[in-house]
Amino acid sequence: MLGLISSKFLRNNRYYPFALLVILLCSTFVGNSFAEDAAGYQSVGKRAGVWNDGQAALWDLNIIDHFHYFGPVARARGHKPQQPIKFSHVTHVQKNKMECQFCHWTSAKSPYAAIPEVQNCMGCHSLIGGTTPEQQAEITKIKEYYTKGEPIPWAKVHVMPDYVKFNHKRHVKAGVGCQECHGQIQEMDEVERVSSMKMGWCIDCHRERGANIDCTVCHH
């Protein structure tokens, strides 16, 4: 049957639109059936009190998360870029009980929650060399960057679209927990994108909390 369809399709290009439709439907179906995918997000942390895991608009739902299928991958949830250093939040936050703002010290001061300086890492890692060989290898990398005076080229996980301004400080000061947007980050060995970061998702929380939803709040 496959041969039949393919031969017919190859011979007759008026079927191409149908083929496209079939592919689209299939992809939606496949997307919908990514049960483990959805479960994965839930395990990472459901946002309290928010309907349907914080999804507001239809196109914000997982089934037609168009970034997931059509890219760019970096905008899709579950985006987990490879980092130059295998930094683990599990080790730092869960095991060693470090405060988020110990490293991300600008997150309540500046619109940007900057990645900590290399010097900041060295503050501890000049003394702490790691227990396992893997850890030791990664920590050596930091030391190399530091001695060369080079910044570590971290891959950005949460990329904002253009013409959107997100003020990190305002959110932290308003009492929005890190996990509400970044998921259960303390459980992530590798940081991945949990939130869709689409406008519907933002607006939903703004409505929920009675925050301002004027366009200029973010778009200017």
Partner 1 sequence: MQKKSLTILGQNDNVASEGLSRRSFLKVLGAATATTAVACADKADQIIYPNVKGDATQIPGLPSWYSSTCTQCDAGCGVNYKTYEGRVVIVEGNKDHPINKGGLCAIGHSALQDHYDPDRVRQPLEKDSNGVFQPITWKAAYSKIKQAIADDSKRAFLTRPLSGSLEKLVGEWSTDVAVEHYAYEPLDYAQLAKATAAVYGAEYDGVPHYDFSKAEVVLNFGADFLETWISPCEYSRDWAKSRKSKKPVRVFQVEPRLSLTGANADHHLKCKPGTELLIAKAVLKELLSRGKNNLPASLLGELEVSLAEITIDVVAKLSNVKSEKIVSAAQRLAEAKTSLVIAGGASAKTNNEYELQVICALINRVLGNVGQTINLDRLRKVKSDFQKVKSLIAEINDNKYSVLFVDGSNPLFTIPSDYKFGLAIKKLDLVVSFASHLDETSKEAHLILPASSSIESWGDHQPYAGVSSLVQPAMTPVFDTVGLGDMLLKLSRSEELKKFSEFQDYLKAQWQTIHAGAGVAENFETFWKKSLERGGYFADPISVAQLSIPTSVIVTAKLDIASFDSTKIQQKSELVLLPYASVKTFDGRAANRPWMQELPDPITKIAWDTWAEINTKTAAAKKIKTGDLVKISNYYGELQVPAYVTDHVDENVIAVPLGNGHSDFGRYASSVGGGNVYNMIPSDKADHLQLFTTHVELKRALGKHKVANTQDVKDSDKQGKREIARTSYIETKVPGAHDDHHDDHHGHHEPAQMYEQRIHPLYQWGMVVDLAACTGCSACVTACYAENNIPTVGRKIMTEGREMSWLRLERYDDGTSEDLQISFIPAMCQHCQNAPCEPVCPVYATYHNEDGMNVMVYNRCVGTRYCANNCVYKQRRFNWYEYELPEPMEMQLNPEVMKRTAGVMEKCSFCVHRIKDAKDHAKDEGRLVADGEVQPACVKSCPTEALVFGDLNDPNSRVSKLAKHDRAYKILDHHLNTQPSVSYLDNLKYKA
Chain residues binding partner 1 by CB under 8 A are 70-75, 81, 106, 109-112, 114-120, 145-146, 149-156, 159, 161-165, 167, 169-170, 173, 214-216, 219-220
User: What is the 8-class DSSP label of residue 73?
Assistant: G
Q: Shortest Cβ distance from residue 4 to partner 1 (Å)?
A: 27
Q: What is the CA radius of gyration of the chain?
A: 22
Nearest residue (CB) to partner 1, 47 versus 103: 103
User: Where does residue 199 rank: exposed (0-12), middle (13-18), buried (19+ CB within 10 A)?
Assistant: middle
Q: Shortest Cβ distance from residue 127 to partner 1 (Å)?
A: 18
Nearest residue (CB) to partner 1, 178 versus 197: 197
CB atoms within 10 A of CB 149: 7
Cβ pair 108, 173 in contact under 8 A? yes
Q: Shortest Cβ distance from residue 114 to partner 1 (Å)?
A: 4
Cβ pair 1, 32 in contact under 8 A? no
Q: Shortest Cβ distance from residue 198 to partner 1 (Å)?
A: 12
Nearest residue (CB) to partner 1, 46 versus 169: 169
Nearest residue (CB) to partner 1, 44 versus 152: 152
Q: Shortest Cβ distance from residue 115 to partner 1 (Å)?
A: 4
Give the Cα separation of 15 and 9 in Å (integer).
6
User: Where does residue 188 rank: exposed (0-12), middle (13-18), buried (19+ CB within 10 A)?
Assistant: buried
Task: Report angle CA 10, 12, 17 to the nearest 5 degrees.
Answer: 95
Nearest residue (CB) to partner 1, 151 versus 177: 151
